[in-house]
Amino acid sequence: MLGHGEAQIGLLGGPASGKTHLLNACARFAHGQGRQLQLYDAFDFAQADAAGFDGLDSGDLIAIDNLDAIAGLPEWEARCYRVINRCRDGECRLVYALSQRPAVLPLRLEDLRSRLQWGLLLPLPDHDENDLRSILARRARLLGFELSNEVLGYLLTHHARDLRAQMAILERLDGASLSRQRRVTIPLIKQTLAETAE
């Protein structure tokens, strides 16, 4: 991201492996360094016309989550192929997330498959409970509050163990804690999530 090392980095992992969290961290880091960045979710690409994304490859860093979503869509495959070529020519950096290895993606454009295998592909481990506790506690501290072991246990027992879902809960708890000037406790979690479910 600072112009050194790999031009292309792929993050490979399942739904709760933290890919989106890492992409967002890369984007925040690049922004903090004064770099121009574009952050996309390829699920949005799959619902849109590729011709409408002329600026897709502009900026110093292009970050694309869920890149698997464009597999089998020829226009989007071609556009992503061009982005990778631009990055390989040294014009930008690319970081993307996949849930499957490029070799098994149902891509139509074989050149895209080979390009996705060029760079550094980092497999992310599935998180066990200790990992999830550590990630959630760290994220809460970044948001400005602490989570007790009791609260962490409650979150992981009573709500989806999916990291994305847990991060969304933390964002809601952050707002509730600030607006009510209360620590994050189990009663606050129950009240906040009950209100947002209505």
Residue type, 46: A
pLDDT of residue 197: 63
What is the b/e burial string over 1-15, where b = at least 16 CB atoms within 10 angstroms of the residue's CB? beeeeebbbbbbbee
pLDDT at 111: 95
Give 104's contacts (C-beta < 8 A, 6+ positions apart).
Answer: none
Q: Which CATH class is domain 8-123?
A: alpha beta
Average confidence (pLDDT) per 10 residues, the chain, 198 residues: 72 81 85 87 89 76 93 94 88 90 94 91 81 89 92 89 83 91 93 78
CA distance 158 to 189: 11
pLDDT of residue 1: 46
Helices 149-158 and 129-143: crossing angle, nearest 10°?
120
Buried b (16+ CB within 10 A) or exposed e, 168-185: ebbeebbebbeeeeeebb
Q: Please identify, in words, the CATH class of the domain defined by 129-197.
A: mainly alpha
Element (H or E) spanning 9, and its range? strand 8-12
Domains 8-123 and 129-197 share a fold: no
pLDDT score recorded for residue 198: 55
Query: What residues does 123 pair with on adjacent strands?
Result: 12
pTM attached to this predicted model? 0.67
**CA–CA separation, 167 and 69 (whole Å):** 22
Residue 91: predicted pLDDT: 81
* Of 45, 92, 94, 34, residue with least CA distance to 69: 45
Q: Where are the domains of the chain?
A: 8-123, 129-197
Longest dimension (CA), the chain: 55
The pLDDT assigned to 124 comes to 85
Length of the chain: 198
Nearest to 39, CA basis, from 84, 83, 1, 95: 95
